[in-house]
A and B are shown apart, each in its own frame.
Chain A
Amino acid sequence: MSFGGKYRIIDFALSNCAHSGVDTVGVLMQYQLHELNFYLGTGQAWDLDRVHGGVYVLSPYHRSGGGKWYTGTANAIYQNIGFIEGHDPENVLVISGDHIYKMDYREMLGAHCEKEADATIAVMRVPMNEAGRFGLMRCDEDNVVVDFEEKPAEPKSDLASMGVYVFNWRVLKEYLIRDASDPASSSDFGKDVIPAMIRSGARALAYPFEGYWRDVGTVRSLWQASMDLISSPPAFDLYDPVWRIYSKNPNLPPHYVGEGARVACSLVPEGCTIYGEVERSVLSSGVYVGRGALVRESVVMPFARIGDGARVERAIIAEHAVVGGGCHIGAPGQKPEKDAGGITLVASDVAVPDGAVYERGSVIDGHTGKEETE
């Protein structure tokens, strides 16, 4: 999934690893393996092609007695105990690959070691009305976690887990093995393993993090996090010279802005060609914006084309989608704006025919091309 013009979301986690001095990274993955493998390559783009260490794609595999899909986050690690043992670590950092943030894991590891914790969980305060989307915990005054609930209906705390954990490997291994033998468990860190650790008295520590952190798992949050890059000053700063975000470079020429174009408050990476108007938007590599077209408050993913005279407002145009000439994507409509925030989505590879009009909040889907609401 691309983000911020020329990045993929996983670049943020991998760049954090690179800047934190982590030299061995296993990427747990069971879908779209080829694409990820192709993207990661040797890991060189993130300085992870190392003599000792490197980046490894860990997908489910068959072994004697059969193989099975990863049934949960903890199960994915359970199935790769052998990989981890091979590196014989004292502690293991477990992170999610779909969050946007900058974090020096060394500081977290320092706190983990200093307090001799079994598990350290990075946490941040979230607005109470959104807290129900997160894993929430309550701590004592020494930041020791006394209670952990995954996505509770009635939040009792606003301290949310960021999905960044440091575990003492010996302790974690025990719990993973125990979890695997429990048929009732969904083998998830937030739902099962961490609550189990806390229940049985393992030392779990909260590590407070202050700074920008976003989960970009929904259309709305992806759009919002993209807009955060272009606010002034940006809520999330890609321009930090000491914490550069590494990515695989698509190797494209500088972008071209034609006569009569207008670009304001936007991010434009290499490979774009702009003849129209772009305002408060994030374009991605290789995007084309035709003459007289208007792109406003939108995210346009790699190699999408916006035809001449088209209007795109508060929309996400996915990779390789083509918006035909004169289309209006995100037109004001009769429908009340829903919780999704009225963000219109044109899915990847979809070709929207010339002149089509789609109301705000529509999802323009590849196969039917027909309008659906979120």
Chain B
Amino acid sequence: MSAQMFSIIYTGQQAPELKDLARSRAVMALPLAGRYRAIDFMLSNLVNSGITNAGIVTQHNYHSLMDHVGSGKEWDLSRKQDGLFVLPPFVTNQNPGMYRGTLDALGGVMSYIRRSSQEYVLIIDDTAVYNTAFRKMMEYHLEQKADITVLYQQERPHEAVLSEGVTRVYLYTSEEGRVWDIEVNAASPKTRLVSLGAYILGKALLMRIIEECVARDRHDFIRDVLIRRMNDLRIFAFGHKGVAVRIDTVQNYYAANMAFLDADARTDLLSKGGPVYTKVKDEVPARYGENGRVANSLIADGCVIEGNVENSVLFRGVRVAEGALVKDSIVMQNGDVREGASINHAILDKSVVVQRDRVLSGTGDFPVIIRKHGIV
């Protein structure tokens, strides 16, 4: 059944709320959980759902993303038929090279959509990261004879706190699951169903929608399709039963990484719908020195741990020297925390050096971010 579906992944707008983390990379290229990037989860979800035709729509800063996905081989998406297609923006008369919204972006890849042979399409945006197989959602879509099915998650009320630059789409559904109202960033939502930014619809319908909207200068899939056409399209909501994390602000990104320290959440996010595949780097096993102490942390291959690490996520090739302390922090690839240095509630981007005896200290709400290649 899912063999009839192809997928388009929209990798992200500018994300000012992610500050320096998204300066040189798309949201979907953000490193996550010690050895992954956000897009690994989505590509693995597709593959674990039997989807073998995937287009990645890129807009900003897509160099690191292209470098990461390569031919798609690591996700088994380097195929004779279909496979992985990276779709960078290109400038034509109709397309100025800058997408003004998701629909605009979909319009920009119309030739890919037209060329895809599958009857249904799964559209995924950069809202959230989760581990699921989309088969059940597809079955639900067919059972309900839906035009569009939206994936959602039940959020606890206290999670519905909004900060600037964040988009939350609240869904109101009837008993049978049909969506009868949608609010974007409602101040006081009366529903707990929040969209996870994944949609199934027929390819023919998608093409019609794109053509109609482009003709009327409408760009936003949520406002111009889901909300505007709620009455004449059968829009249904399908609930994701596991963990989903969001990476749209620095705080959420920090919390998303920390979520992996919980055994249940880790199992859910790394294996629920199937394994998460990523690019292989041939790193060596992590090596521990004599006096290091590590507690409640994720440590990737290639790390050399001689100091102390607590409640932290260490990506590949990180060095923690003797007497150093890494606490409640995220250290990306090849970070180097030298003798006697101490960091807590910090996010060190790739290849950051924290020199001897330096102290970096943030809080859970406001972690310190050090840019790529920064030397502290």
The 3 closest A-B pairs by CB, nearest first: A254-B34, A5-B285, A269-B285
Q: Is A239 an interface residue (CB 8 A)?
A: yes
CB pair A268–B285 under 8 Å, yes or no, is yes
| Max chain B Cβ within 10 angstroms of own Cβ: one of A245, A246, A253, A269 | A253
Contact flags B278-292 to A (C-beta < 8 A → 1, else 0): 101010111111111
- Least CB distance from B131 to A in Å reads 11
Q: Is B149 an interface residue (CB 8 A)?
A: no
Q: Is B192 an interface residue (CB 8 A)?
A: no
Nearest B residue to A239, CB-CB = B284
CB pair A264–B288 under 8 Å, yes or no, is yes
CB pair A267–B287 under 8 Å, yes or no, is yes
Nearest B residue to A263, CB-CB = B288
Q: How many residues of B contact A (CB 8 A)?
A: 37
CB pair B296–A257 under 8 Å, yes or no, is yes
CB pair B299–A247 under 8 Å, yes or no, is no
Q: Contacts A6-B285, A230-B287 known; list 15 others, CB within 8 Å.
A: A6-B284, A232-B290, A251-B277, A253-B34, A254-B33, A254-B299, A254-B300, A254-B301, A257-B296, A258-B296, A261-B294, A263-B294, A263-B305, A264-B291, A270-B301
Contact flags A255-274 to B (C-beta < 8 A → 1, else 0): 11111111111111110000
Q: Could you say which residues of chain A place their CB within 8 Å of the CB of B295?
A: 257-261
Nearest A residue to B271, CB-CB = A253
CB pair B290–A255 under 8 Å, yes or no, is no
Q: Is A238 an interface residue (CB 8 A)?
A: yes
16 A-B residue pairs with CB within 8 Å: A45-B280, A238-B285, A239-B287, A246-B282, A253-B266, A254-B34, A254-B35, A254-B299, A257-B309, A259-B295, A262-B293, A264-B292, A267-B287, A270-B300, A278-B288, A282-B285
The docked-state distance in angstroms from the alpha carbon of A255 to that of B301 is: 8
Contact for B286 among A232, A247, A255, CB less than 8 A: A255
The docked-state distance in angstroms from the alpha carbon of A254 to that of B32 is: 11
Nearest B residue to A270, CB-CB = B301
- Least CB distance from B301 to A in Å reads 5
Q: Could you say which residues of chain A place their CB within 8 Å of the CB of B35?
A: 253-254, 270
CB pair A245–B282 under 8 Å, yes or no, is yes
> Which residues does B use to contact A, with CB under 8 Å?
33-35, 73, 261, 263, 266, 270, 275-278, 280, 282, 284-301, 305, 309, 313-315
Q: Could you say which residues of chain A place their CB within 8 Å of the CB of B292?
A: 263-264
Q: Is A156 an interface residue (CB 8 A)?
A: no
- Least CB distance from A276 to B in Å reads 13
The docked-state distance in angstroms from the alpha carbon of A249 to that of B301 is: 11
| Max chain A Cβ within 10 angstroms of own Cβ: one of B33, B282, B284, B296 | B284
How many contacts A-B (CB < 8 Å)?
A: 101
Q: Is A4 an interface residue (CB 8 A)?
A: yes
Q: Could you say which residues of chain A place their CB within 8 Å of the CB of B298?
A: 253-256
Nearest A residue to B316, CB-CB = A254
- Least CB distance from A51 to B in Å reads 15
Q: Is A244 an interface residue (CB 8 A)?
A: yes
Nearest B residue to A258, CB-CB = B296
| Max chain B Cβ within 10 angstroms of own Cβ: one of A4, A244, A254, A269 | A254
The docked-state distance in angstroms from the alpha carbon of A283 to that of B305 is: 15
> Which residues does A use to contact B, with CB under 8 Å?
4-6, 44-45, 230, 232, 238-239, 244-247, 249, 251, 253-270, 278, 282-283
CB pair A267–B285 under 8 Å, yes or no, is yes
Nearest A residue to B281, CB-CB = A249
Q: Could you say which residues of chain A place their CB within 8 Å of the CB of B282?
A: 244-247, 249
Q: A244-B282, A245-B282, A246-B282 are in contact. Are A256 and B288 (CB under 8 A)?
A: no
The docked-state distance in angstroms from the alpha carbon of A249 to that of B285 is: 12
Nearest A residue to B315, CB-CB = A254
Main secondary structure of the interface of B (DSSP, over half): loop
CB pair A253–B286 under 8 Å, yes or no, is no
- Least CB distance from B203 to A in Å reads 32
Q: A5-B285, A251-B275 are in contact. Are A257 and B299 (CB under 8 A)?
A: yes
The docked-state distance in angstroms from the alpha carbon of A258 to that of B285 is: 18
The docked-state distance in angstroms from the alpha carbon of A294 to that of B280 is: 31
Contact for A251 among B33, B278, B287, CB less than 8 A: B278
- Least CB distance from B289 to A in Å reads 7
Q: Could you say which residues of chain A place their CB within 8 Å of the CB of B289?
A: 232, 264-265
Q: Could you say which residues of chain B place their CB within 8 Å of the CB of A260?
A: 295
- Least CB distance from B293 to A in Å reads 7
Q: Could you say which residues of chain B place their CB within 8 Å of the CB of A261?
A: 294-295
Nearest A residue to B263, CB-CB = A256
The docked-state distance in angstroms from the alpha carbon of A278 to that of B33 is: 23
CB pair A254–B314 under 8 Å, yes or no, is yes
The docked-state distance in angstroms from the alpha carbon of A5 to that of B291 is: 21
Contact for A256 among B276, B284, B297, CB less than 8 A: B297
The docked-state distance in angstroms from the alpha carbon of A238 to that of B270 is: 28
CB pair B299–A268 under 8 Å, yes or no, is yes
- Least CB distance from A285 to B in Å reads 8
Q: Could you say which residues of chain B place their CB within 8 Å of the CB of A232?
A: 289-290
- Least CB distance from A224 to B in Å reads 18
The docked-state distance in angstroms from the alpha carbon of A261 to that of B297 is: 10
Q: Could you say which residues of chain A place their CB within 8 Å of the CB of B284?
A: 5-6, 238-239, 245, 267
The docked-state distance in angstroms from the alpha carbon of A44 to that of B73 is: 11
- Least CB distance from A249 to B in Å reads 4
CB pair B285–A4 under 8 Å, yes or no, is yes
Contact for A268 among B33, B263, B288, B290, CB less than 8 A: B288
Q: Could you say which residues of chain A place their CB within 8 Å of the CB of B280?
A: 45, 249, 251
The docked-state distance in angstroms from the alpha carbon of A255 to that of B289 is: 16
Q: Could you say which residues of chain A place their CB within 8 Å of the CB of B290?
A: 232, 264-265
Q: A254-B300, A255-B298, A261-B294 are in contact. Are A266 and B288 (CB under 8 A)?
A: yes
- Least CB distance from B143 to A in Å reads 34
The docked-state distance in angstroms from the alpha carbon of A265 to that of B285 is: 12
Q: Could you say which residues of chain B place their CB within 8 Å of the CB of A269?
A: 285-286, 301
Q: Could you say which residues of chain A place their CB within 8 Å of the CB of B287?
A: 230, 239, 266-268
- Least CB distance from B260 to A in Å reads 8
The docked-state distance in angstroms from the alpha carbon of A283 to that of B286 is: 10
- Least CB distance from A112 to B in Å reads 30
The docked-state distance in angstroms from the alpha carbon of A67 to that of B305 is: 54
Q: Could you say which residues of chain A place their CB within 8 Å of the CB of B309?
A: 257
Q: Could you say which residues of chain A place their CB within 8 Å of the CB of B34?
A: 253-254
CB pair B270–A253 under 8 Å, yes or no, is yes
CB pair B301–A6 under 8 Å, yes or no, is yes
